[in-house]
Amino acid sequence: MSFELPMRAGPRPDTTDCAPHEQVSQNSPAEIHTLFKRRAFELSFVERRPSGISVPGAEALVLPHDHACGPREAFMIGREFAHVHPAYDGSSHLMLPLPVVEELIAKGWGEPHPMARLGHIPATAVMAFAPRDAAEVDVMLRLLSTSWDFARGKLATPAPVHIHG
């Protein structure tokens, strides 16, 4: 899989290290959060629902049964492959193929989910930091589109991922 992100400018934001996993600094301005959410939910076949696993107010991207053809590690719960946190946070959790997870972390766009670091959920689960401007919305949409393709089974089969029970 060929995927390359630019380096994210500046220091990484502060986040919580437990559940709920939230971003607590460098949050999106209101207009940027609104722009990102509007564009995120324009992906084909995506159903907009309350998240089945996140904080109240988080909105999930869910695929209909006929389009959810990716591996188990492409989904958080049910057919939810990503969710956008409320405006006070602005970050997103999404499932990404392992090479993209490595790129996201190396380039400063996100971090592993704390439960993934502990081995309780797949290593494909990450937090992508809140976009701070329109250019960062574009990067976030590339990441989200990759998660969407992963969940639809449109990417090459990822390396096996050990899922802890």
- For the chain, the domains span 30-151
Nearest in space to 84 (alpha carbons), one of 137, 133, 123: 137
pTM: 0.91
Q: What is the pLDDT of residues 129-165, one digit of tens each?
A: 999 999 999 999 999 999 999 999 998 654 544 443 3
Alpha-carbon distance of 22 to 24, in angstroms, equals 6
Q: What is the pLDDT of residues 121-137, one digit of tens each?
A: 999 999 999 999 999 99
* Rounded mean pLDDT for each run of 10 residues along the chain, 165 residues in total: 84 94 98 98 97 97 96 97 98 97 97 94 97 98 97 73 41
pLDDT for res 163: 41
Tell me if the domain spanning 30-151 has CATH number 3.90.1150.
yes
Alpha-carbon distance of 156 to 20, in angstroms, equals 31
Looking only at the bridges linking them, the beta strands covering 125-128 and 110-112 are antiparallel
